[in-house]
Amino acid sequence: MAPSTDKKIEISNLYVDYGPLSALRNINLDVYRNEILGIIGPAKSGKSTLLQAINRTIEFIPGARVRGSIKIDGEEVRKIKDINGLRRKIGMVFPLPVGLPLSIYDNVAFAPRMAGIRNKSQLDEIVERCLKQAALWEEVKDRINNLGTKLSGGQQQRLTIARALSHEPEILCLDEFSIAVDPVTTMRIEEVLKELKSQMTIILVTNLVQQARRLANRTAFFMNGELLEIDKTDVIFSDSPAHRVTYEYVTGIFG
């Protein structure tokens, strides 16, 4: 499916401060339905903060203050009453894998159960589908009741991805998912992401610029809390993006 220009997320005039520190300044950004939006940029550029602002987990950080507007499907995120419903709509994967201290099965069945699904066969079906999507099923299908926390780092990250998919999110945010995953598995997950694109909108924050190049329809370059430029991935990775510093960053001259 070709990416549309139908807006899934609209961010306008977004500012985020942590106390006196400014993390994001005047971000204006749209994410289109069924695209993969790559977000690249050096450390401290506000990439992760943006994701936390979108699913409002930023509210758990003491001193964090958000101004401006984030709309999902035209609805202002900060005015949503059912915050848990909002978070179910968004799948989140963070750099370090978090296997919950539950069995592999329960890790994936966690979100559906919390949303009220009790039917065993329905849960079985969700667990198998999500583990397959996260390229983990073959490795764990015979020990599905073992503890998820005893898996290796790479396996736990895929378990985390499976859990993020288990509540059938419309938006999937991945923050440096491949840090703890070996290159072969990374490639397998990247293939999965290309397929998932037809079902959901994906935001991919990554330090591996080549990963953005391989996957993203459009790429945004963040620096020091500002969105420097956003364009088609081909343009960002061409010889002449709008900013010289973007060119330097993606080609590795930067620094």
Partner 1 sequence: MESITFTETPFVRKKKRTEALAKLIFFLMALSMIIPLVMIIAYLVVQAWPILSIDFLLENPANRMRAGGVWAPLLGTIYLVVISLLVSAPIGVLAAVYLNEYATDNWFTRIINLAVVNLAGVPSIVHALFGLGAFVLFAGIGRSILAASLTLAIMTLPVIIASTKEALASVPMPFRTACWNVGATRWQTIRTIVLPNSISGILTGIILQVSRAAGETAPIMFTGAVFFKALKDDGLFAYNLLDQCMALSMHLFTISTQVPDVPHALPYGTAVVLMAIVLLTNGLSIAFRVYLRSRKRW
Instruction: Phi first, then psi: give them for residue 224, nearest 5 degrees.
Output: 50, 40
Q: Is 147 in the site for partner 1 (CB under 8 A)?
A: yes
**Residue of the chain from 22, 57, 69, 217 that contacts partner 1 (CB under 8 A):** 57
Q: Is residue 73 classed as helix, strand or coil in its secondary structure?
A: coil
Q: Which stretch binds partner 1 (CB under 8 A): 84-92, 124-132, 203-211, 220-228?
A: 84-92
What is the separation of C-alpha 254 from the centre of its chain, rounded to a whole number of angstroms? 25
**Residue of the chain from 47, 88, 197, 218 that contacts partner 1 (CB under 8 A):** 88
Q: Is 167 in the site for partner 1 (CB under 8 A)?
A: yes
**Residue of the chain from 21, 96, 184, 253 that contacts partner 1 (CB under 8 A):** 96
| Adjacency order of strands within the sheet including 218-223 | 90-93, 171-175, 201-205, 36-40, 218-223, 226-232
Q: Which is nearer to partner 1, 57 or 69 (CB)?
A: 57
CB of 187 to partner 1, least distance (A): 25
Q: Is 205 in the site for partner 1 (CB under 8 A)?
A: no
CB of 245 to partner 1, least distance (A): 32
Write the Ramachandran bin of 186: left for phi over 0, alpha for psi from -120 to 50, otherwise beta: alpha
Q: Is 65 in the site for partner 1 (CB under 8 A)?
A: no
Query: Which residues, listed in sequence order, are joined to residue 75 by a DSSP beta bridge?
Result: 72
CB of 147 to partner 1, least distance (A): 6
DSSP, res 142: G
Q: Is 233 in the site for partner 1 (CB under 8 A)?
A: no
The answer to whether 219 and 40 are in contact (CB under 8 A) is yes
Residues 6 or more apart whose Cβ sits within 8 Å of residue 33 = 3, 4, 6, 7, 8, 201
The size of the interface with partner 1 (CB under 8 A), counted in residues, is 29
Q: Which residue has the tokens 């709509």?
A: 89
The answer to whether 146 and 130 are in contact (CB under 8 A) is no
**Residue of the chain from 38, 41, 46, 99 that contacts partner 1 (CB under 8 A):** 99
Q: Is 154 in the site for partner 1 (CB under 8 A)?
A: no
Q: Is 184 in the site for partner 1 (CB under 8 A)?
A: no
| Residues at the site binding partner 1, with contacts judged by CB under 8 A | 55, 57, 60, 62, 84-88, 91-92, 94, 96, 98-102, 110-111, 114-115, 147, 149, 160, 163-164, 166-167
